Structure 1
């Protein structure tokens, strides 16, 4: 069987705090190690690292706005590249590169896979709905109709896709993880509850702060660390809440990346992601890969945490989060480590990029044939 040429399109990969900015290049890298010629089209700037596959990055125009990400050079190059491709795989929606993917696939008569990456959830559709209506008129509707198959990362995202466009088939393949080596790593945990990621209202940090306050003396000797970046007004509002509650064991810290991020996970005793909505929750995978148990909500696709013995999956409410945090903080250090170890084994067995890329390659071959 000849080598498959697969073109991936994603609006940007420069922001390492964004899930697709990690997961799309990681998928491309894993596929390049299989029987695939991989090309990634994206907008500049690129992160300062090397890639083991071809990356084409283009400057965006300010027409109609820079946030739309229009690049005539990208469209021309993509259309030419698509002529000898086997599969066109688009990631995310509502920006010009996502529209280009549909036109290029249709023009070259090649199968188009669309990975919405959470952009079809009800909460996502509510945000800036007028921009999405405009994008549909500018070609996003055409690109969606050109889709032969949707790729989703979880069952609940599959429901979102079916609610939006139920006649197009969809396949569930989760994101993977580059498993960090724990060989020689000291897993002497600090008494830290960690949130790491984008600091945004959808992450449920309001109920996290309220729950931490509710715990009172139960948090003595513990630290709650919020690590990440977000809109400065929102970050300031959280700082004001912390000051209002007069709590001195909460810190808001700058984002960390790469190996530094793994160290932060490894030092924490518990990771918490109290999101109101989450397409996949890459930070859950990162935490478990670093042998740290997780508390998250049933608005993420991680209901199996409790069944696997490595965390809690709860309703996104102040009451339920307070209960889960109290349960976690009350556990012996060795029990928390044991839970983290179970999470690591789960990630090794089901979420390595090697296994995920094999599933994706099978989907490509099925569509090509």
Structure 2
């Protein structure tokens, strides 16, 4: 009997506002479909505080993947959609005698994920949960901490114990095991869209420039540690610029811009907004160093994306791929203090030879280590094991 995967995610393409997690889910579904795995995506019209302009309640093809969008009643991070949950129950009942079902839920703490898990448990359907960074002490205490604690005590803990957890890095696995006991936990890296261009013509002249070019490319939110980064940059004694690419809450971005002004950094910060997928690799390649001083990051797709074009990275030690970067000497790893960040940026600036070597060797190694062709077999094997 064949396996069918029901992918449950509160947001899906083209909801790029949610950044890396949404793109990782879509990439996984696309590659599974290419490998002839039967799957269907159930998602909502969530697009931040607005809704996607898409047809609802009927399956459609999105880059080859069968996706059904459902309207949500709540316009916040709860993403409550009774019609999605009703459809999930219908598909479970319909498929019980037709195929072996596995339900793969992405992210946690939203009502779609929690109630989908409960429905699957009622019908004894195996659940794979990819928390996407949502099951860490940082996330548990960062936003709506009291509500999360209540949910965890009343039903979350029992539901999570029913799940087979998919972690994207060794660090995420360690974070998860600090406070839950799942049926099993398996580490498989995210599938990441990599640059198809092996060489950019302007890269050779980049190292001849006198200004050190840094780039932050991610969703702009508090956990990214941008305040610490700005304080570190204010202490540098050489010429530099920072490109900030991404979107976020208007109020928070306004706070950051006020901090930039108070530190007298206006002339060195370039705010470029959300960047299309087709443009981000060229933009990354135009910079000497990608910086990500996050307080918590289960994986960080942008690290792989940056290294795929040869741009070195500077990460906090709370980023899931920090161990990978250290192991391969693909950049610098910093503590979460402005002084440590400043020192490591200075080290990156001074070590031109290391940056040139990373530019030379990283693309080939990264494209091998994060090959979709290799990783997808690990995902398929994982589904078969939990079923």
TM over 0.5: yes
What is the aligned partner in structure 1 of residue 350 from structure 2? 330
Give 5+ residue unaligned stretches, structure 1.
none
What is the aligned partner in structure 1 of residue 38 from structure 2? 37
Q: Say whether 1:10 aligns with 2:25.
A: no
Q: Distance in 1 between matches of 2:150 and 2:243?
A: 39
Shift of 1:353: 2.2
Give 5+ residue unaligned stretches, structure 2.
46-50, 55-60
Of 202, 213, 217, 2:223 maps to 202
- On the 8 A contact 2:198/2:363 being kept in 1, the answer is no
Shift of 1:255: 1.5
Q: Say whether 1:104 aligns with 2:119.
A: yes
- On the 8 A contact 1:17/1:197 being kept in 2, the answer is no
* Structure 2 residue matching 1:89: 3-state secondary structure: strand
Of 147, 155, 161, 2:170 maps to 155
What is the aligned partner in structure 2 of residue 241 from structure 1? 259
- Runs of 4+ off more than 6 Å: none
Question: Residues 114 and 167 (structure 1 numbering): CA distance in 2 closer, same or farther, change over 3 Å?
Answer: closer
What's the CA shift string for 1:25-78, capped at 9, x where partnerless? Answer: 11011111224111111111458893211101100114xx75422222111111
Q: Distance in 1 between matches of 2:350 and 2:76?
A: 50
* Structure 2 residue matching 1:86: 3-state secondary structure: strand
Question: Residues 38 and 187 (structure 1 numbering): CA distance in 2 closer, same or farther, change over 3 Å?
Answer: farther
TM normalised by structure 2 equals: 0.86
Q: How many residues align?
A: 360
Q: Say whether 1:272 aligns with 2:291.
A: yes
Q: Distance in 2 between matches of 1:288 and 1:309?
A: 11
Q: Map of 1:1-369 to 2, 5 A cutoff?
A: 3-13=2-12, 14-44=15-45, 45-46=51-52, 50-62=62-74, 67-83=77-93, 84=95, 85-126=100-141, 127-133=143-149, 135-136=151-152, 140-141=156-157, 143-147=159-163, 149-183=164-198, 185-188=200-203, 189=206, 191-216=212-237, 218=238, 220=239, 222-247=240-265, 248-301=267-320, 302-332=322-352, 335-368=354-387
Pairwise CA RMSD of aligned residues?
Answer: 2.3
Q: Which moved more, 1:137-146 or 1:17-26?
A: 137-146
TM normalised by structure 1 equals: 0.90
Q: Distance in 2 between matches of 1:285 and 1:18?
A: 14
Q: Distance in 1 between matches of 2:381 and 2:5?
A: 13
